[in-house]
Copies of this chain bind each other. A is one copy, B any other.
């Protein structure tokens, strides 16, 4: 299929393993979005990350479900409704997300100066 990774995660070493789970462009943001534990509908996630193409979020959410970071519940209603909720495994990654958030906040000015204003 078109959007299946050849190698889902990287088992070369523990560091690469962790990275491979979150390094796709929006996965860390999705985890951050779901961190509260509140289930969220796909359209809500799309709205919270408007820079991301909806299709990419679909695909990355699917991978995260496969990896066990996120759970999906489909409600057999019409119009269709589904929800994504962070799992225990996903939650265990939140401290890492937090440290990256903090690091980014503390060092933002360096890169803003170096690489441009972005207004």
Contacts and interface: CB of A to CB of B under 8 A. Distances in A.
Interface residues of A, number: 42
How many copies of this kind of chain does the complex include?
2
Identify whether the interface residues of A are mostly helix, strand, loop, or mixed: helix
Contacts of A7: 115
A11 B107 contact: no
A93 interface: yes
A23 interface: yes
Interface string A84-119: 000001001101110111111101101110111010
Contacts of A105: 14
A40 interface: no
B100 A18 contact: yes
A32 interface: yes
Interface of A: 7-9, 11-19, 22-23, 28-29, 32, 51, 67-68, 89, 92-93, 95-97, 99-105, 107-108, 110-112, 114-116, 118
